[in-house]
Structure 1
Amino acid sequence: MKKSIFFLLLSLLIAPVAQAQAIYESFRSVKLDQTRELKIQLPRNYQRNEDKIYPVILVLDGDYLFEPVAGMVDYFSYWEDMPESIVVGINQRKTRLEDGRYDTAQYLPTGSGANFYEFIGQELMPYINETYRTAPLKIIVGHDYTSNFINYFMFKDNPIFQGYINLSPELAPTMIEKISNVLSKDPKNTWYYLATGANDSDQIKEDVIQLDARIDSLKLQNLNYHFDNFAESTHYTLVGKAIPKALEDFFQMYRPISKKIYRDVILPMEDESRFEYLTNIYKTTEELYGFKRKVRINDFIAISTAVEKTEDWEELEPLGDLAVKEYPDSMLGYYYLGIYYEQIGEPKKALRAYEKGFQKEEIAFLTKDYMLEKATKIKEDFGW
C-alpha cells in the first residue's frame, strides 16, 4: 500500500515537469546539406486535445533564446492570456553568422544565408505543418544579427510569417528603407515588434530608433506595431523584458477588452461600428488561431456601455441578436433588445424582450428583479 502511494505521488510530481520539457530533434536539411538541431515545445494539452490546432512561434538563436520564449509562452497560455502555441527553436551557436549572411550590393541573403532562408521556408516550416497540428498564425523571433534576418521573410508577396519579434536588431545597410517600404503597404493581420534599450549598442540603438520613427511616420491603420526602448537595459538584458511585452502586445485581441482599449479605441469611435469592431476581433482570431471562441461577457458589456454612453442605439439590435445566439439561456441578449426597442419607440417589442429575458438565467449585472422592473415600468408608463 505504501509503495503504491509513493509511486502515485512520484507520478504526480513528475508529470508537470514532463509537460514543460522540450522535444529535441535532429533535422536533415537538403538545402543546407547539414543536420540541424531543433527544440520543440508542444502545448501542455497537445496530446489530449486531438482536434485542436496551434499557432507556431519559430525562434532563431534557439541555443539561448528558445527557453525564455518557450517559458513565457507556457506561462501566458496557462493564464489564458494567449492561445496555447507550438514553439520551435533552431540551434545556431556555430552557424549563426553563416546563416544570416547577406551580400554587400543588395544586402539580401546570399550563399549560406540564402540556403538558410530556403531551409526555413521550404523545409522546416512545411515539416512542422505536416508533423504537428498547426494554425495559420506563424511568428518568428530573432536577436541582433538573426533579428535582421527575420525581416527578409516580409519581402515575399505572401509571407509565411504574420508576426515578427525583433529584439535589438543589428540592421543591415538599407534595411530601414526596405522594412519601411514593405510596411507602408499597411498589411492586415501583421504584427511587428521592435525593441532596444538605453544601454544597447550605440549603432544598433540609433538604427532601431530611426526605424521606429520611419514606421511611426507612416501613420498606418492596419499594421499592429509596437516599439519599446527599455530604460537601463543592455543589449542582452532587454531580451528578458521584450519577450513578455511582445507576446502581450501580439495577443491583445485574445484577451478581454481592457479598460485602456475601451477608453482609447472603442469609446472615441465615430465613423466606425462598435459592433463590427467586436465581431472583427473574433473573426480575425478564428482565422489566425484556427478555432472559434464564444464572445466574452466582458466584451459584450464593454461595447454596450460605449453604445449607451454615446446613445448610438442602432448598434444594440445586432449586439442583442448576437448575445441571444452566443448565450441563448441567459438574459443578456434580450436586455439589449429591450433597451433598443425602448429607444426607437417600440414599447410593445421592448416589453416582450424583457419578459423573455425574465424567463432566462441571470448573468453579469442582470437579475430577475431587474428585468421585472424594466417590464413593469413600461406597463406603468403606458397603462397596460
Structure 2
Amino acid sequence: MIKKSLTLIFILFYFSGFSQKIIQQALESEILETTRNIKIYIPEGYEKDSIKNYPLAIVLDEDYLFDIYVGNAILFSKKDKAPKQIVVGISMEKTKGQDVSFDINSGKLSTTAGYFYNFIRDEVVFYMESNYRTSPFITLVGDGYSANLITHFLGENTAFINSFICINPSFSDFIGSELISYNLEKFGREDNTFYFYTNNVSSFSAEKQVKIDQIQKGLATLDMKNFNVINDVINTPSSISAIGEAIPRAMTKIFEVYSAISKEEYEENIKDLAPSDAIYYLENKYLEIEFLFGSNLGIRETDIYAIESIVIEKENGDKLRDFGKMILKLFPTSPLGDYYIGRYYETGKMFKKALNYYKIGYGKMDPSDPNADAFYENILRLGGQ
C-alpha cells in the first residue's frame, strides 16, 4: 500500500511542475445550450515545433481523473513508453447524473446523456482538432457510469476513437446486446488500430464482477488483429486505488507499439524471423508509430541493434544492404544506415564502395560522439585497400 501511495505522490509531484501548461476554457455549446468548462494540458515542447502533431486524450470526470491521466502521460513520455499527448478534461462534477444516465429498461442513453454524447463527438473533438495540432489517434477515458457512456462510441458508423479506456465500468444490464448491435467486426475492416480496455476489481460486488467478467469473456472471442481487447483484473480492496492502477496498465498496452523493442517483444515476434522479415517488422513498427501518433522518431538505435544479429548472422549477411537502406529511409541522419551498407560491400570485397559509405557515415557523426573513433577505424582499415 505504501508503494502505491508513493507512486501516486510521485506522479502528482511530477505533474505539478507542468501546471503552467494547463489551459482553463469555458466552451460554448450549442448542443447543451450552455457553457461547459474544460481543462487542456499542452505537452512540453508543443510551442517549439510548429509541425509535430500529438495524440488527443479526452478525459471524462475531469475533477479527479484529469490530473492522474496527465501525470501518467508525462511519466510515460519521459520514459519513452508513449508519445506526448494533448489531454482535455471535461468537467462533470455537477452534471454527471444527467451526462451519463440511461434507461434502465433498455440501456439506451437518456435524452440529456445523448446531448452530452453529441457534445463530445461534435463539439469537443471539433474544437480540439481546430485549435491544436492533434494526430488522428484519439483516446476516451471514463470511470464508472462514464465508462458505460464511452462504450456507445463503438456504435459510430465511422470509427474515429482509437482507444477506449473504461475504468471500473458500471455497465447497463443490456451491455451485452448493445455490444452485439454495434457490429464490432466492422473495426477489422478499418485501416487503423483500436484498443478497448476494461478492468474488473476484486472488491466489486459479486454481481458486478460477474457482469464485467462475462463482457470480458465475450470480447476475448473477437479475432481481429487491429482491435486489441485488454481485459484486466485488479486485486485491491478499494475501487479508488484501482483507478490509479488502471490508467498506467491501460497505457502500457495501448502504447506498446510506440515503446522500444522489449525482451518480450523480441522473443515473441522477432527472434525467429528471416532477415528480410525482421527488417520489414522494424520498418513497419516505425511507420505505424508515425501514422498513429504523428511522431517521426527516425529509429531508436536500440531497436536497430535488436535485430542486427539476425541480419548479420542469417543468410550470410546478404540483407545488410537492405537493412542499411531501410535505416536511411526512416532515419537519414543516422550513420548506422551507411555503416551496414558499407559492411555489406566490405563482406563482398567491394572495398572502394565500402570505404565510400564508411566515409559518408563518419561525416554524419559529431566528433565528440564516443563511437566516432571506433567508426573511423573502418576507414583506416580500408584506406590501404
Distance in 2 (CA, whole Å) between partners of 1:152 and 1:314 is 51
Q: 1:311 to 1:223 in 2, by over 3 A?
A: farther
Does the C-alpha gap of structure 1 residues 358 and 123 become closer, same or farther in structure 2, counting only changes over 3 Å?
closer
Q: Please report how far the alpha carbon of residue 200 of structure 1 lies from its aligned counterpart in structure 2 after TM superposition.
A: 2.6
Distance in 2 (CA, whole Å) between partners of 1:200 and 1:370 is 64
User: Matches of residues 1-384 of structure 1 in structure 2 within 5 Å?
Assistant: 17=17, 19-20=19-20, 22-104=22-104, 107-179=107-179, 182-185=183-186, 186=188, 188-269=192-273, 273-308=277-312, 311=315, 315-325=319-329, 332-337=336-341, 347-349=348-350, 351-352=351-352, 354-359=354-359, 360-361=361-362, 367-368=374-375, 371=378
Report the AA paired with residue 73 of structure 1.
Answer: A
Moved more, 46-55 or 363-372: 363-372
Change in Cα spacing, 1:220 to 1:21, as seen in structure 2 (3 Å) is same
Amino acid in the other structure paired with 2:269 = V
Percent sequence identity over aligned pairs = 27
Q: Deviations over 1:277-335 (max 9, x none)?
A: 22222222222222422111111222333344654956543222122445657653344
C-alpha contact (below 8 Å) 2:342/2:355 kept by paired residues:
no
1:210 is aligned with what amino acid? Q
Q: Following the alignment from structure 1 to structure 2, what is the Cα–Cα distance between the partners of residues 106 and 370? A: 74
- Taking the aligned partners of 2:108 and 2:273, their CA distance within structure 1 comes to 42
Segment drifting more, 331-340 vs 239-248: 331-340
| Structure 2: 5+ residue stretches without partners | 1-15
Q: Deviations over 1:55-112 (max 9, x none)?
A: 1110011111111111111222233332221111111122222212234565332311
CA distance in 1, matches of 2:194, 2:64: 26
Conserved 8 A contact 1:256-1:299: yes
Work out the CA distance in 2 between the residues paired with 1:369 and 1:21.
45
Between 194-203 and 31-40, the greater mean CA deviation after superposition? 194-203
1:155 deviates by: 1.3
TM-fit CA distance, 1:352: 4.5
Distance 1:66 1:252 in 2: 22
Give unmatched runs, 5+ long, in structure 1.
1-15
- For the aligned residues, what is the CA RMSD? 3.2
| 8 Å CA contact retained: 1:58, 1:138 | yes
How many angstroms apart in 1 are the aligned matches of 2:246 and 2:103? 29
Structure 1 position 137, deviation (Å): 1.3
The secondary structure found in structure 2 opposite 1:49 is coil
Distance 1:267 1:126 in 2: 43
What displacement does 1:245 show? Answer: 1.6
After superposition, give the CA deviation of every residue in 1:156-201 in whole Å (9 maximum; x if it has no partner).
Answer: 1222311111112112233234436644443531122222222233
Rounded Cα–Cα distance in structure 2 between residues aligned with 1:198 and 1:312:
54
- Tell me, in whole angstroms, the C-alpha distance in 1 between the residues paired with 2:57 and 2:45: 17
- Answer with 1 or 2: which has the greater Rg: 1
Take 2:274 and 2:172, find their aligned partners in 1: how far apart are those partners?
A: 42
- Give yes or no for contact 2:21–2:43 (8 Å, CA) kept in 1: no
C-alpha separation in 1, matches of 2:27 and 2:179: 31
The alignment covers a number of residue pairs equal to 359
Note the alpha carbon deviations across 1:321-367, whole angstroms, 9 max, x for none: 1224456576533443366568xxx8244x45543354333889893
Q: Residues 108 and 336 (structure 1 numbering): CA distance in 2 closer, same or farther, change over 3 Å?
A: farther
Q: Is the 8 A contact 2:342 2:356 kept in 1?
A: no
**Is the Cα contact below 8 Å between 2:358 and 2:378 reproduced in 1?**
yes
Give the distance between the partners of 1:219 and 1:131, measured in 2 at CA: 37
Alignment partners' CA distance in 2, 1:312 and 1:40 = 54
Relative to structure 1, the CA distance from residue 151 to residue 315 in structure 2 (aligned partners, 3 Å threshold; closer, same or farther) is farther
With normalisation by structure 1, the TM-score equals 0.81
CA apart distance, 1:138: 1.0
